[in-house]
Amino acid sequence: MDTSVAIIGSGPSGLMLGQLLHRAGIDAVVIDNKSPEHIMSRIRAGVLETVTVELLDEAGVGDRLHAKGLVHEGINLAFGGKLHRIDFEGLTGRHVVVYGQTEVTRDLMDARTASGGASVYEAEDVRIEGFDADRPTVRYRKDGTEHRLRCDFIAGCDGFHGVCRQSLPVQAYQTVERVYPFGWIGLLSDTPPVADELIYVNHERGFALCSMRSNTRSRYYLQCTLAERVEEWTDERFWTELKLRLDPQIAQRLVTGSSIEKSIAPLRSFVVEPMRFGRLFLAGDAAHIVPPTGAKGLNLAASDIRYLSRALIRFYRTGDSDGLGGYSERCLRRVWLAERFSWWMTSILHRFPDAGEFGARIQRAELEYLVRSRAAATALAESYVGLPIED
């Protein structure tokens, strides 16, 4: 079996790339080591920038998103016993769309099935070779049989724990990383959201986030320690702790119910440089991780794929490889701006164990400045709705 582009990973990055290439008439195979059911059961992102929405439209999968996605023109910051709204539309003329990553993945998988694109799920022992030479190869085992797929390019869309980055010689790349001394526990429930817009809470007991997937499905998060295990968090404990971190009048409105899903995620900032090695291109979480506070992970994956799909299409149409040559530099410029924003949002909203009194006062001053200065609020808003993308 041969193809033009072997896409490792069937998360949002790999599926978006597969769909964009398919529409341009470029052959690709998507290979994932998990089952479609497992991939669909991962509850992750919920907030889409305009750049991401436009890319999903371009991939031909925007219909459900436009019908069901919720347009949000702002967010709320809760601190010092008050709610402060950041008005994205008023400050930037732009908004975000709340639509779950699970739904994005479903729409893309449905489109791939409808278009007859080749996908291999539950591939075992996926290996990549020869990407520094002319004919890269992907090997994997499926149902006990060894397979070899030769291709022109490999797209490493296999997430943070994937095989592509790990296949690089150590001297070929550099990683830059920060690990935070806490995580988030998330709970999904079929209950109406506590407010119309997201609430990011800075509280002395720790950060909390009230988010949603629809008007009937809520997603809540709490800052927790890294030592905690999800089994220790009964639904009741979660709701009690969330209420303690919310202002009393909001806590009163909170509708609780049994969880559909609960999970703990550590917070991390991580970048690989460069993102291209010969005929291998890393994209999405395989190349960079941001703490979820700025809602940037999936959106960065989409902007990588926008650059990569355009570069590949240009190469196959005209033979011009300039787009491929500039891929890493272009991506990394936007990646680092999102890394900065996500780190900053994390730093102003969470309790840091060793911050001390000075750290607490500076954090409070940052928040006060944000709600008093139009310039500061605009800086938050323009990053949250998504910085411009280079063409």
Residues near ligand RFL (CB under 6 A) are: 8-14, 31-34, 39, 44-47, 101, 126, 157-159, 161-163, 184, 186, 265, 284-285, 292, 295-299, 301
Does a cis peptide bond (omega within 30 degrees of 0) precede residue 274? yes
The answer for residues whose C-beta is within 8 angstroms of residue 44's C-beta and 6 or more apart is 101, 102, 297, 298
Which single residue brings its beta carbon nearest to ligand PHB? 46
- How far are the Cα atoms of 35, 238, 311 from residue 328, in angstroms, in the given order? 30, 41, 11
> What is the DSSP annotation of 96-156?
EEE--HHHHHHHHHHHHHHHT-EEE-S-EEEEEE-TTSSS-EEEEEETTEEEEEE-SEEEE
Residue 236's CB: how many other CB atoms inside 10 A? 9
162 binds, among ligand PHB, ligand RFL, none (CB under 5 to 8 A by kind): ligand RFL
- Give 116's contacts (C-beta < 8 A, 6+ positions apart): none
Query: Which tokens sit at 292?
Result: 């979820």
Residue number with CB closer to ligand PHB (13 or 211): 211
In 3D space, the residue among 264, 245, 268 whose CA is nearest the CA of residue 342 turns out to be 268
Cβ at position 207, least distance to ligand RFL in Å: 13
* Contact partner, 13, from ligand RFL, ligand PHB, none, Cβ < 5-8 Å per class: ligand RFL
296 annotated active-site: yes
Active site residue 307: no
Catalytic residue among 99, 200, 220, 327: 200
Q: Is 220 a catalytic residue?
A: no
E strand map for 230-324: 259-273, 276-277, 280-282, 288-289
Of 292, 307, 327, 350, the active-site residue reads: 292
344 or 364: whose CB is closer to ligand RFL? Answer: 344
Measured distance between the N- and C-terminal CA atoms of the chain, rounded to whole angstroms = 34
Catalytic hit among 72, 95, 203, 262: 72
User: Contact positions toward ligand PHB, by CB under 6 A?
Assistant: 45-47, 198, 209, 211, 219, 292-293, 295
119 bridge partner residues: 30
> Nearest approach, Cβ of 297 to ligand PHB (angstroms)?
9
299 binds, among ligand PHB, ligand RFL, none (CB under 5 to 8 A by kind): ligand RFL
When CB distances are held under 5 to 8 angstroms depending on the partner's kind, the choice from ligand RFL, ligand PHB, none that residue 219 binds is: ligand PHB
Active-site positions read 72, 200, 292, 296, 384
